[in-house]
């Protein structure tokens, strides 16, 4: 019996591990040391609203010291809400923009990287980059399997061994990048304020941009019962690093 209790406790601790990124590293190329002035606008989004259902473990299924009890009905409750995808939420767009500015500057120290808030100090040729976040979706997950194993494990305790291994999911963020080649005076004259944007955007009417779609994957793992709060920042940081590399690529594209 003590072994079963130890298994239960160990499984519970593993199941509560917070999110961490796994899988391939971010692709970063060497800086060719070609000076540029690059302005990255505040991010736009065109994502659809989505209805999201989340399952939470009921409070009456857990007992102190790692024991389990099963109250009436399902061991989980389902909560449904309507929201924008994570990468397209307003707070996320601001966080991603700041992170991308920093990451692009790290990858290309020879560049002068700025948001539109720094236009007053800029001069000469300028490359403007527009980022449009269209959404994100889970393209691979074993969460449902782990949920099932956990639910049955509440009454068949050895099944909790499945929680020694974390849930693994891959989130794909997708959208469009646009590159405009112009100069600082033109960008300043065409700066436009939007209510949803912290900085001005570039009025690109009459310009023909270089346009590239992107789909960027972030694979992460976390315990089945992990607190969801740390997951968002982990995903946003990893997505921003990958997005910065995509921006570097389109800026340097002939």
Q: In this structure, how many other beta carbons lie within 10 angstroms of the beta carbon of residue 145?
A: 11
Q: What pLDDT is stored for residue 166 in this prediction?
A: 85
125 within domain boundaries: yes
- Span 43-59, pLDDT tens digits: 999 999 998 877 665 65
- Indicate the average pLDDT of the chain: 84
User: Is residue 151 over pLDDT 70?
Assistant: no
70: in domain: no
* pLDDT band at residue 67 using 50, 70 and 90 as cut-offs: very low
At 148, the pLDDT band (50, 70, 90 cuts) reads low
pLDDT bracket for residue 225 (50, 70, 90): confident
pLDDT digits (tens, 9 = 90+) for 179-212: 999 999 999 999 998 877 778 999 999 999 999 9
> Under a CB-based contact definition with an 8 Å cutoff, are residues 216 and 27 in contact?
no
Per the domain annotation, does 68 fall within a domain? Answer: no
At residue 80's C-alpha, the angle toward residues 69 and 161, to 5°, is 35
Residue 97 and residue 21 in contact, taking contact as beta carbons nearer than 8 Å = no
Domain containing residue 135: 2-49+85-252
Asked if residue 75 is part of any domain, the answer here is no
Task: Report how many domains make up the chain.
Answer: 1
In a domain, 225, yes or no: yes
Given pLDDT bands bounded at 50, 70 and 90, which one contains residue 80? confident
Task: Please check whether residue 69 lies inside any domain of the structure.
Answer: no
| Residue 184 resides in a domain | yes
Domain presence at residue 147: yes
pLDDT bracket for residue 9 (50, 70, 90): very low
Instruction: For residue 144, give the CATH number of its domain.
Output: 3.40.50
Query: pTM of the predicted model, to two decimals?
Result: 0.82
> What confidence tier does 2 reach under pLDDT thresholds 50, 70, 90?
very low
The better pLDDT of the pair 63, 73 is held by 73
- Which residue in this structure is represented by tokens 């995903």? 235
């Amino acid at each position: 019996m003590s072994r079963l209790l130890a298994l239960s406790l160990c499984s519970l601790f593993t199941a509560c591990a917070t999110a961490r990124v796994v899988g391939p590293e971010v692709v970063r190329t060497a800086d060719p040391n070609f000076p540029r002035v690059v302005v990255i606008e505040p991010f736009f989004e065109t994502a659809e609203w989505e209805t999201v259902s989340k399952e939470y473990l009921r409070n009456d299924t857990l007992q102190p010291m790692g024991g389990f009890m099963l109250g009436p009905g399902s061991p989980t409750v389902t909560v449904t809400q309507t929201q924008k995808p994570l990468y397209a939420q307003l707070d996320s767009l601001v966080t991603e923009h700041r992170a991308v500015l920093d990451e692009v500057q790290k990858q290309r120290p020879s560049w002068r990287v700025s948001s539109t808030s720094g236009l007053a100090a800029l001069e000469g040729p300028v490359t403007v980059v527009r980022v449009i976040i269209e959404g994100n979706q889970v393209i691979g997950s074993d969460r449902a399997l782990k949920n099932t194993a956990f639910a049955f494990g509440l009454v068949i305790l050895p099944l909790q061994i499945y929680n020694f291994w974390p849930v693994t999911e891959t989130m794909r963020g997708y959208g469009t990048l646009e590159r405009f080649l112009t100069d600082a005076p033109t960008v300043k004259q065409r700066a436009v304020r939007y209510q949803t944007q912290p900085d001005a955007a570039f009025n690109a009417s009459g310009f023909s941009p270089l346009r590239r779609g992107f789909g960027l994957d972030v694979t992460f793992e976390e315990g089945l019962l992990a607190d969801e709060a740390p997951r968002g920042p982990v995903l946003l940081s990893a997505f921003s690093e990958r997005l910065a590399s995509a921006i570097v690529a389109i800026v340097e594209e002939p």
